[in-house]
Each structure stands twice: as structure tokens, then as C-alpha cells.
Structure 1
Amino acid sequence: MYNFLQEFSIPLITGVIYALIWANISPESYHNFVHNQIIPNFSLHFLVNDIFMVFFFAIATVEIIQSLLPGGDLYPLKRAINPIMATFGGVLGPTIVYLLLNHFFGSPDFIKGWGIPTATDIALAWLVAKLVFGPNHPAVSFLLLLAIADDGIGLLIIALFYPNPLSPVTPAWLLVTLAGMLIAFSLKKAKIKSYWPYILFGGALSWFGLYLSGIHSSLALVFIVPFLPHPKKEKAHLFEDASRDHSTLKQFEHDWKAFVDLGLLLFGLTNAGVEFSEINAVTWFVFIALLIGKTSGIFIMGWLSGLLGFPLPKGMNHKDLFVSGLVASIGLTVALFVAGVAFTDLALQGAAKMGALFSVLSAVISFSASKALGIKRTVISRK
């Protein structure tokens, strides 16, 4: 049952649907539920976005580390050049489209939303790719690599361009985060196998350092997870379970992934509650930048990479690349999160979130495009 819920992103989708219905039927009670303090100084929205999302981004970091190890999906570098170049296209494309749309039709108040359409929802993209191409088609692995690299860039974008809007950036507090990293490094040197000391001591200091510095505290474990002991070589592909790998890194992922997957219900519930009346130009800027900017950016850079001598994976052609770009334009989870930190104006925030929600339509467009282009679902051995 859990595998079914995880594979089809049921908790996240359920939270999103409930939030949309609640926010449009009874907006006042919805906003009270999300933003009123449930304990002194802490609302449900804060607990989800500043504490729960710490573990969401930590799991994303685990996937990035594992994919970069020898035997991982991004190793060696030459193998990863095409999806990495496509990833840069998938970041630059939507940024350019968003800024152009804002230049001609928008307002200076909208500029900070440029980072929202750079996101790809890795779980939904993986699901849609498997349904469109078939479970073992090389385009599925290509999309996973792209989404993982996209997560890495997304973490940098959040850290560098979206500090906490409610407090000024105070870089001196980052020394506390650095202290947390030094503790994690010392624990690794001491060959401490349990991940708990890394999280409780290094992670706590990292969280407070980021929170007090004005940088979003949800990134706290991004600076700690790389110190968790892990093997020198990776034995599993992305989303596969390496049952013989008992490293601290893998144990952390194994213990917390179910919590994160199921906890996305609360994330969807607290972040997707947007009233349809809040739709404005920002909504369409985000949606068009995702659909057109990300798709074209991925296609152009993937095609250019092939011309430079770094081809697409064997068994994947330019039609597959185009449809992969469409699939990657599903930006839901991270796009919702970035929308929440990009704008302090709740009306703009809601409009941007609606654009992120509309990006789910890319799944339907991907299916239609695959049929129009004659792409058939295939099963190709990875061996």
C-alpha cells in the first residue's frame, strides 16, 4: 500500500486537492488553519516549510550524492554531460521566458518570481515519464538525472536568491552553520555510524545558523548530509533500494523517505490553498515559463550537447528529448515552495502558486505530444 501511495504521489496530490477545495469554499478558515499559531510563535505553515522541508531537501541531497558516486547515474562526468547541459537549459529557458514576459506585460513587483519556473517535480516527472515512455526506457533515466541536477541548482537558487523575506540577511550567523558542519565532519572522522548525532548536533546548529542569518532554514541538512558515511561506490540506480548497502547515508534515506513521502500531504495542504480569484499575470508567467521555457531550454541544450559530441542516451532520439522537456515542466512541489519564499505579498504568492499548480497540465500535454509524435511505450533492458 505504501509503495502505491509513494509511486503515484498520492499524499501530495491529496493535500493539493484538499487545499484548493478548502481555500475556495472557506478561505478564512483555511488561512486560520494554516497561519494561526498552534504553539507559541509557530504556525502549521512554519512547521511544514521550515522544519518538515528540511528532510525533503535532505532526501534530495542524498539522491544527488549517490548519483555522483562511482557507479551512480551521474558518474562518470562524460555520461552526465547531456542531461546536465539539458538541466542548465531547463533553468535558463524558463528564467529568460519569465523575465521577457514580465518586461513586456508585467511589473517590477513580479521580478522575484523568476526562480519559480526553474523547478522540476522529481517524483511527478518520474511517474509521468514511466507512464509515457515505459518503465525502463532510457528517457526515464535521462529525466531522473535531469531532475536530480535540477534539484541541486534549485537548492543553490533558494540559498542565494531567496533569503528569508521577514528578516534581513545577517551573514555572521552562518558561522553557526559552519560549526554544525565541523561537528558533522568530526563525527565522520570519529567513524560514528549512527546518523542521529549528525542530525541532532550538526543539523540543529546548521538550522539555527541559517534561520538567524536570514537564509531559508529548510536547507539545514543540505550542509550536513554530505558528511554522513557512505560507500565509495554506488550499487543502485535512482529510486532503487540497495539492500546490501548498510551505510549511514542509505540508512538515513531508508528511515526518513516514508516520512517525507507521506508528509507531502501536509505540504500540499499548507501551500496549495489558492483562491481562483487570485489568478493574475504572474500565474501565466510561471505556467508559460515552465511549459515553453523549460521545454525549449531542455530541447535546445540537449540537442546542442549532441552536436558537441555528448549524445543522448542510447535508444533516445530528439522526439523523446522534446517530450522529456514537456514532462520536466511539471514543477509542482519545489515551484510551490519557491513561490512561498519569492513573494511576501500574499496575492502575488497565491497567483504564482496557481501557475505552479497549472504546470500539472504538462502531464496531459506530454501524453498528447507523445501520441502525436508516434512515441511508443517500450521496455528496454538496462543491462
Structure 2
Amino acid sequence: MYRVWNFVTNYSLLLVAGAVIALVWANLDPRGYHAVVEYPLWFNDHVGVTMERWLRALGEDAEAFGHAETARVLTFHYLVNDVLMAFFFSVAAKEVWEAVILERGSLRGRRAATPLCATAGGMIGPAAVFLGLAAVLGSDTFDAVANGWAIPTATDIAFSYLVGRVVFGAGHPAVRFLLLLAIADDAAGLVILAVFYPTGALAPGWLLVSLGAALAVYALANWLPRHLDRADPMRPRATWVRQHLGVWPYALAGALSWYGFAQSGLHPALGLLPIVPTLPHADRAFGIFAEAEQYLTDLLNHAQHLLKHPVEVILFFFGLLNAGVELSAVSAPTALVLAGLLLGKPVGILLFGYVGARVLRLGLPPGMRMADLAVVGCVAAIGFTVSLFIAAVAFEPGAVQDASKMGALLSFAAAGIAVVAGRLAGVRRRPR
């Protein structure tokens, strides 16, 4: 049973299950589905969507909930997307942080140069295709969908990794290349969310709360014990902090940081990012899906181990509350998102990867061909999780958002395309 659960959680099949349930539910009973999505958990003046937006989203069904006049409503959707998804993004940020900060991190040095070039193409290509085709469809369409340009730039790490192993085999260097690209893509996606998709009027002064929480927990729970132990190899103070306090100081700092983000206008799902670098970390990392990761006992990896299964459950609810789109929603934004992912992503990765590997002479990993890079581009076109998330924040609830979400869901077609492309490119699977 443990192996089955481990497989399900490793490959985010709970997310798929939630998305499938949502699709069926929204098409059988759309009114009931949206009533659950926007169900009010707490009327208050501090946390949640604005009362005006909640009334607009729920419509006449809002009258069924007697409530006092408040400024905000903590809905089921807000709890998952804006609060709990912060843990998902913190896990992604942990991988990015280790890849950048560690001496032998995967995003440092010459070996990361070509994947980073390919990542740039995998961001620019989809955005260019999305906006270019939208412009061809006319100014009305362009104005309606332009804010969704970032939706097709995302790459779903878990599903692309799974498909990559199917196409290339676990031992193929293209799988490692794909993981580097996906991690770098996640890093760029976090920046895009922070810069281009604020949730309200910006109040940057509130970010001082996040910065202060991060600096305080780093100084008191990380630096200070190590500083006091600098002459004692037994490290008694650092050990006491680890054994008796564990992750709790960082959890408290994370709550303060999240609130600072929520009040600043930046998306609160990014609220834990300033706290991730403050946790003590190991001197090396084996990679997000490496079995050896479970044997690292530093506090940063320990926190990730604690979050692994809860995050997968969170992803189930994320799929349930975000993928409920009626099939009739398919329209121009659906085609634009799909074109960005299925056309712009592979072409961008191949073109920029070629420039990095051949023009700039950065090279490809030994055993990897340019044809393999083209197939990697097809695999990376699976947007799904982050594409769904960006669609939810790029547009107000309605036809354009639903159509864009449908494009993110249909990006699973990239898996079949990648398998076919692998056959045509003569990819030779390499077992571990």
C-alpha cells in the first residue's frame, strides 16, 4: 500500500483525480459546483477576497448566507489557492534555492548554461505565439486575453518528469536536462507571478513584515546558535534548537511573511518564499525526484519531507476547485493557450537550445542529441498545474478564465505528442 501511495503522490495523480472530478461535477451541476468553490468559511475584515468580488462570483446564491457586513470573505477557493498553495510554491522554491546556492547546484556552472538558454526559449516562445495569434484574431480578442500571456509559459515538473521517463528512460541524459529546465522554469514562473500578477493595489511597505520575519528567524534560529557554537564541535545550542524547536520558528515566520504578502498586493501564495532560504540546508542535493533525498536530514529537507504528502492532498483540492470548467467553454483563449504550449514551447526550447549548444558552443550533455532536445520541448509543453494557477489569477471568473483553464487542462495532449515525437526522432530509451 505504501508503494502505491508513494507512486500516486510522486506523480501528482491526486491532482489529476481532483481535476477529473471537477470537470464531471461542473458539467453535471455547474451551479452546485460553483457554490462549493465560493463557499464562505469566514466573513471578516482581514483575509480573503473582497465582498464585492464574492457577491459577483456567487451571484444570487450569496443571499442564502446570512452574514454581517464585512470587507472580505475567506472562501474555500481562497483558502486553497491563496493560503494552502503557498506550501506548494515553497517546495518548488526549495528546489530552486538549492539548485542556485549549493556549490554543485544544478543551476550553477557551465552544465546549466544550455538548459537555461532552453528555458528562456520555453518562456519567450509560448508568450510570443499566444500574443501573436491573439493579435491576428483582432484587437477585441487581444484586449480580452492579453493578460494571460504567461499561462502557456509554465512547465509542470511532476508530469513532464513522468512523461520524460516514459519517452527517454530513467537513465537518459535528456531526463536530467528536462528537470533542470523545469526547475529554472519554476523559478521564472515565481518571478512572473510576483511581478505581473498582483492581487490588488500594491502596498510595498507591507513587504517589510515579510523581510523582517525572514531576517529575524534566520538570525535567532539559524545564525545565532551556530555562532555561539563556533568553538564547540558538539554544537549543543544548534542541536537544542533543532530538537526542541524544529520547524516551528519558521512556521511562525512563514505566517507573518504570508500576511505581509497578502497585504502588500503581491499574490499571497508566494508568501513563504522569503522564509525558504532561512532554513539550515545540506551541502548538497540529489534532486527533486531522487530517492537519496529522503536520507538528507537537514532542516530544509526535513521540512520538505513533512510537506510532501500534505502538499499532494492540497493539489487534489486545487484541481477540484480550479479545473471545473464546462465543456462549452472551449473558445479562442483555449486555442491560444494550447498553441502557446504545444507550438511555442517546443519551438522556443529547440531554437534557444540550439543557439546555446551550437552558436554559443555551450554544448549538450554527453549522449544527448539535438533531436532529443526537440522531444524535450514537446514533453515540457505539459503546463497543467502552474498554467491552471496563472489562469485563475490572470482573469476574473468568467468565460475567458474558463476557456484558458481548458487550454491548460488539454495540454496533457503534449504527452502523446512527445511519445510520437520520440519515436520519429529515434530516441533510444535508457534504463537506469
Work out whether the TM-score is over 0.5.
yes
The aligned counterpart of 2:343 is 292
Q: 1:23 aligns with which of 8, 23, 26?
A: 26
1:229 deviates by: 0.6
Q: Show the 5 A alignment for 1:57-76.
A: 57-68=89-100, 69-75=102-108
Per the alignment, residue 363 of structure 2 pairs with 311
**Distance in 2 separating the partners of 1:276 and 1:198:** 43
Equivalent in the alignment of 2:284? 234
Residues 1:33 and 2:36 aligned together: yes
Q: Are 2:200 and 1:189 aligned?
A: no
For residues 197 and 370 of structure 1, do their structure 2 counterparts lie closer, same or farther at Cα, with a shift above 3 Å needed? Answer: same
1:271 CA drift (Å): 0.6
Letter in 1 for 2:35: N
1:237 Cα offset (Å): 2.8
Contact 1:67 1:234 in 2 (8 A): no
Match for residue 360 of structure 1? 412
Could you tell me how far 1:235 is from its partner in structure 2?
4.3
Post-superposition CA distance 1:331-381 (Å, at most 9, x none) = 00000000000011421111110110111100011111111222221226x
Distance 2:336 2:387 in 1: 13
Note the C-alpha offset of 1:195.
2.1
Structure 2 distance, partners of 1:263, 1:158, is 19
Give the secondary structure class of the aligned counterpart of 1:42: strand
RMSD: 1.4
Is the 8 Å Cα contact of residues 7 and 127 (structure 1) preserved in structure 2?
Answer: no
Larger displacement relative to structure 2 (370-379 or 126-135): 370-379
The SS at the match of 1:333 is: helix
Contact 1:95 1:293 in 2 (8 A): yes
Shift of 1:74: 2.4
In structure 2, the residue matched to 1:161 is 196
SS of alignment partner, residue 16 of structure 2: helix
Matched, 1:175 2:208: yes
Tell me how far apart the structure 2 counterparts of residues 243 and 284 of structure 1 sit (CA, whole Å): 41
| Matching residue's letter, 1:188 | N
Give the residue type in structure 1 aligned to 2:379: V
Q: Aligned partners of 2:266, 2:398: CA distance in 1, in Å?
A: 20
Do the aligned partners of residues 28 and 175 (structure 1) sit closer, same or farther apart at CA in structure 2, a change above 3 Å counting?
A: same
What is the CA-CA distance between 1:38 and the residue it aligns to?
2.9
List runs of 5+ in structure 1 lacking aligned partners: none
**Long gaps (5+) in structure 2:** 44-72, 226-240
Amino acid at match of 2:381: S
Of residues 112, 122, 139, the one that matches 2:174 is 139
Q: How much does 1:245 deviate? A: 2.3
Distance in 2 (alpha carbons) for counterparts of 1:325 and 1:293: 9
8 Å contact kept, 1:203–1:221:
yes
Match for residue 7 of structure 1? 10
| 2:367 alignment partner, SS class | coil
Equivalent residue number for residue 102 of structure 1: 134
Alignment partner, residue 78 of structure 2: 46
**More divergent stretch after superposition (124-133 vs 234-243):** 234-243
Using structure 2 for the length normalisation, give the TM-score.
Answer: 0.84
| Pair 1:243–1:356, CA change in 2 (3 A) | closer
CA distance in 1: counterparts of 2:10 and 2:300, whole angstroms? 22
Task: Please say if residues 294 and 305 of structure 2, whose CA atoms lie closer than 8 Å, have aligned partners that are also in contact.
Answer: no
Check whether the contact 1:179–1:205 (CA below 8 A) recurs between aligned residues: no
1:64 partner amino acid: V
Q: Specify the alignment match of 1:246 in structure 2.
A: 297
2-structure distance, mates of 1:135, 1:6: 18
Whether the aligned pair in 1 keeps the contact of 2:98 and 2:285 (CA below 8 Å) is no
Q: Percent identity?
A: 44
TM-score (norm 1): 0.95
What CA deviation, in whole Å up to 9, does each residue of 1:34-53 have, x standing for no partner? Answer: 11213332211111101111
What are the residue-to-residue correspondences of 1:205-216 with 2, within 5 Å? Answer: 205-216=256-267
1:122 matched to 2:157? The reply is yes
Task: Give 3-state SS (helix, strand or coil) of 2:6's partner.
Answer: helix
Q: 1:223-242: per-residue Cα shift (whole Å, max 9, x none)? A: 110110112x2142332233
Alignment partner, residue 262 of structure 1: 313
Native 8 Å contact 1:49 1:267 kept in 2:
yes
Compare CA radii of gyration and give the structure with the larger one: 2
Give the drift of 1:262: 2.7
Deviates more, 1:365-374 or 1:10-19: 365-374
1:332 to 356, 381, 384: 384
Q: Distance in 1 between matches of 2:34 and 2:304?
A: 33
State the secondary structure of the residue aligned to 1:190.
helix
Provide the secondary structure at the position in 2 that maps to 1:107: helix
**Aligned-residue offset at 1:312:** 1.1
Alpha-carbon distance in structure 2 between the residues aligned to 1:242 and 1:122: 17
Contact 1:19 1:274 (C-alpha < 8 Å) held by counterparts: yes
Cα shift at 1:184: 2.6
- Quote the Cα distance in structure 2 between the aligned partners of 1:227 and 1:379: 38
1:272 matched to 2:307? The reply is no
Residues 364-383 of structure 1: pairs in structure 2 closer than 5 A = 364-379=416-431
When the two structures are aligned, how many residues end up with a matched partner? 375
